[in-house]
Amino acid sequence: MMRKDQIAKHYRNLQQQVCQKLETADGGGVFKTDHWTKDIGEGFTMVFQNGSAIEKAAVNFSAVNGVVNENMRKALKIDEGQEYFASGISSIIHPRNPHAPIAHMNVRYFELSSGHSWFGGGIDLTPHYVNKKEAGWFHRELKNICDLFSPDYYPNFKKWADDYFYLKHRDETRGVGGIFFDHQSADDDLAFEQLFAFTRDLTQAYPRIYKELLNANRDKEYTDDEKQWQYLRRGRYVEFNLLYDRGTKFGLESNGRTESILLSMPPMASWAYDFQPVAGSREEETLNLLKKDIGWISF
């Protein structure tokens, strides 16, 4: 189908552009390409390790198809169609410096044999230490993109991100959120073109936004205690991805490539029993800001 070919071609090209821009932003590392094929389709896993400022990054592309099994039907709330096609890009960036944030981006297209199709995705930010000014700038950048398409996108998708990127067993958000959306119907041509353009704009903005945040923090001095805090916050990131992330669940349920699915994991993380931050510390301040419905755009 024309849509499938169009989606896969554009997303693959965007993946390469993102990698090139992140290499330039880091100034030291290079992505390695791992092209994989399975009975459900193919993908290109781009992996970046041990750069100057980025400790680990990944930009995945895949185009897969197959039969909708019962676990997928339940996880993705599919009530029609026996076969599926899915293509998308997902990316994660883990910086060296604990004052620089983790960033995540995902865009995806899903089509069923019934003819129903939709887009999903978003961008979110997980600072190890929350900087209100940077969080506000980040949210305003996302709002500017959203407003090009609909005044409803940012408030709706920001709320969705707050609810989605939430560790209910910890009663804390994964970070300062961003935007998240799913099951945005692309059944008619107008909706398809708008949503497709929206996902392309988000993907192109992702490395530009991250470069600004990285450059603001990459050379800041940090202590061993701050590095240990970074490892603890990475541990929370791991918990979310393994317990709640839909992309991880879909990849495993669809017999996807395990190495690519779990590539979002940080190179080093830790857990401490009943960790309590020092009163009045930046660690305590960060934990107090990991809440839903904060109006970051006003900072």
Tens digit of each residue's pLDDT (9 = 90 or more) over 176-199: 999 999 999 999 999 999 999 999
Q: What is the mean pLDDT of residues 7-27?
A: 97
**At CA 279, angle to CA 273 and CA 285, rounded to 5?**
90
At residue 57, what are phi and psi to the nearest 5 degrees? Answer: -145, 155
Q: Select which of 104, 116, 128, 139 is catalytic.
A: 104
Put simply, whether the predicted model's pTM sits higher than 0.85 gets the answer yes
DSSP letters spanning 247-273: HHHHHHHTT--HHHHGGGS-SS----T
Higher pLDDT, 143 or 264: 143
10 in active site: no
SS3 content of the chain, % helix, strand, coil (to 5): 45, 25, 30
Residues 126-160 pLDDT 10s: 999 999 999 999 999 999 999 999 999 999 999 99
Domain encompassing residue 143: 2-298
Q: What is the pLDDT of residue 78?
A: 72
Number of domains the chain contains: 1
**For residue 1, pLDDT beyond 90:** no
- Domain containing residue 261: CATH number: 3.40.1500.10
